[in-house]
Chains A and B, each alone.
Chain A
Amino acid sequence: MLLDDKSVYLMRLGDNALVLSQRLSEWCGKGPAFEEDMALTNIALDLIGQARMWLSYAGEVEGRGRDEDALAFRRDSHEFTNLLLVEQPNGDYAQTLVRQFFFDAWHQLVLEALRRSSDDRIADIAAKAIKEVAYHLRRSSDLVVRLGDGSAESRRRMQDAVDELWMFTGEMFNADETEELLGAQGLACDPSTLMDAWLAMVSEVFAEATLELPAGEWMQKGGKQGRHGEHLGLLLAEMQFLQRAYPGATW
């Protein structure tokens, strides 16, 4: 039972990184400035690297012979366990940035906790990833401040994005049985313990960015359990096309 919980948990970490990476790479060649284009695709590559480490380990722990590629390219939408937040469409640049900022702030807290995991491999992966994520967060919070406290139009767009994406933030802190169990054993991180720190981080950046924290308390959930919106199916159709059309293709 514990092995199942562990592979489920590892897959969630991998799926978050993989799906967000795929979203960011949709900006490749279309960024609002050459420098932004490069930055987003760099972050996409960082996340791909992290997804590979988590999914490889998930496959090994699962013990059903699935490697990172099988997990990435041959699972359907309902088998993906990423947060709903990361599958949301890129929208305008404000939406991409706010999504990134919400995720980066959470991601850093999770990895900080996982660095102290009782599982050495989890701790190692987290220690490696956190260096990249520290940069992601520095960059996204900087841009949230610049665009929030920018022109009237940039502020409006940023606030709209915040209001729209807010309902996807609650899921990050809903612990389910798997997370409670592994959290109690010191192997994983119980995400409900991160909420206060996350809110403090977001509030501080928003204050500087002159953005308002939404009051809405109703939150979407289900991503971790494989219940996704239509967006994920379309994303996977594009990401998995090659391996679906030509199974096992390599180059």
Chain B
Amino acid sequence: MKEWPLWEVFIRSQHGLAHKHVGSLHAPDAEMAINNARDVYTRRNEGLSIWVVPASEVSASSPADKEALFEPANNKIYRHPTFFPVPEEVKHM
């Protein structure tokens, strides 16, 4: 059997607001990828909606760029909104 292409699977769960990456799987096309995702990733009632994306279409940052991409954010503490007192009644912050 020829190897099927890889798909990245995103599930929007019962409680979550956004689709979340849950893993990947092989399938010959998008329709079967969704069917397979249903069987592989939603067996315990996890999902309300499924997205599948060809893994080859995902562009990823390079691990070598880690410092250039992320270091500047870490050493500017004023970018973190931790200096504001949050009233207790405010949820989900």
Min C-beta distance of B76 to chain A, whole Å: 45
Q: A34 vs B6: C-alpha distance in the bound complex, in angstroms?
A: 13
Query: How many angstroms between the C-alpha atoms of A38 and B36 in the bound complex?
Result: 8
What B residues does A248 contact at CB under 8 A?
A: none
A194 close to B (CB within 8 Å): no
Q: Give the interface SS of chain A, mostly helix, strand, loop or mixed.
A: helix
- Please name all residues of chain A whose beta carbon is closer than 8 Å to the beta carbon of B1 when the two chains form the complex: 32-33
Judged by a CB distance under 8 angstroms, whether B89 is at the interface is no
C-alpha gap A39/B27 in the complex (Å): 12
- A25: interface (CB < 8 Å): no
Q: Which of B1-57 contact A (CB under 8 A)?
A: 1, 4, 25-28, 31-32, 35-36, 38-40, 43
Q: Which residue of A lies closest to B32 (CB)?
A: A142
Are B32 and A33 neighbours in the complex by a CB distance under 8 Å?
no
At the interface, yes or no: A139 with Cβ under 8 Å from chain B? Answer: yes
Contacts A142-B31, A142-B32 given: A38-B39 contact, CB under 8 Å? yes
- Beta-carbon contact of A33 and B4 below 8 Å: yes
Which 6 pairs show the lowest CB-CB distances between chains A and B? A35-B36, A39-B39, A38-B39, A42-B39, A38-B40, A35-B25
Asked whether A35 lies within 8 Å of B31 as measured between CB atoms, the reply is no
Q: Which residues does chain B contribute within 8 Å of A135, judged by CB atoms?
A: 38
Question: A residues bordering B, Cβ < 8 Å?
Answer: 32-35, 38-39, 42, 135, 138-139, 142, 146
How many whole Å from B1's CB to the nearest CB in chain A?
A: 7
Cβ distance B40 to chain A, nearest Cβ, rounded Å:
5
Q: Which of B26, B31, B32, B43 contacts A42 (CB 8 A)?
A: B43
Q: Roughly how many angstroms separate A38 CA and B28 CA in the complex, as a whole number? A: 16
Q: How far is the CA of A187 from the CA of B21 in the complex (A)?
A: 47
Query: Could you say which residues of chain B place their CB within 8 Å of the CB of A42?
Result: 39, 43
Residues of B within 8 A of A142 (CB): 31-32, 35
In the assembled complex, the Cα of A42 lies from the Cα of B41 at a distance in Å of 11
Asked whether, in the complex, the Cβ of A35 is within 8 Å of the Cβ of B43, the reply is no
Expressed in whole angstroms, the Cα–Cα distance for A42 and B45 within the complex equals 13
CA distance A139 to B32 in the complex (A): 9
* Most chain B Cβ neighbours within 10 Å, of A33, A34, A42, A142: A33
Q: With A and B bound together, what is the CA distance between A79 and B20 in angstroms?
A: 49
Residues of chain A within 8 A (CB-CB) of B27 are 35
Instruction: List 24 A–B pairs whose Cβ atoms lie within 8 Å, in order of A's numbering.
Output: A32-B1, A33-B1, A33-B4, A33-B26, A34-B25, A34-B26, A34-B40, A35-B25, A35-B26, A35-B40, A38-B36, A38-B40, A38-B43, A39-B35, A39-B36, A39-B39, A42-B43, A135-B38, A138-B35, A139-B35, A142-B31, A142-B32, A142-B35, A146-B28
Cβ of A39: which chain B residues have Cβ within 8 Å of it? 35-36, 39
**Which residue in chain B gives the minimum CB-CB distance to A45?**
B43
Distance in angstroms from B28 CB to nearest chain A CB is 8
Chain B residues with CB below 8 A from A32, complex form? 1
Contacts of B36 in A (CB 8 A): 35, 38-39
Q: How far, in whole Å, are A139 and B39 apart by their CA atoms in the complex?
A: 11
A109 CA to B44 CA in the complex, in Å?
27
Rounded to whole Å, the gap between the CB of B46 and the closest CB of chain A is 13
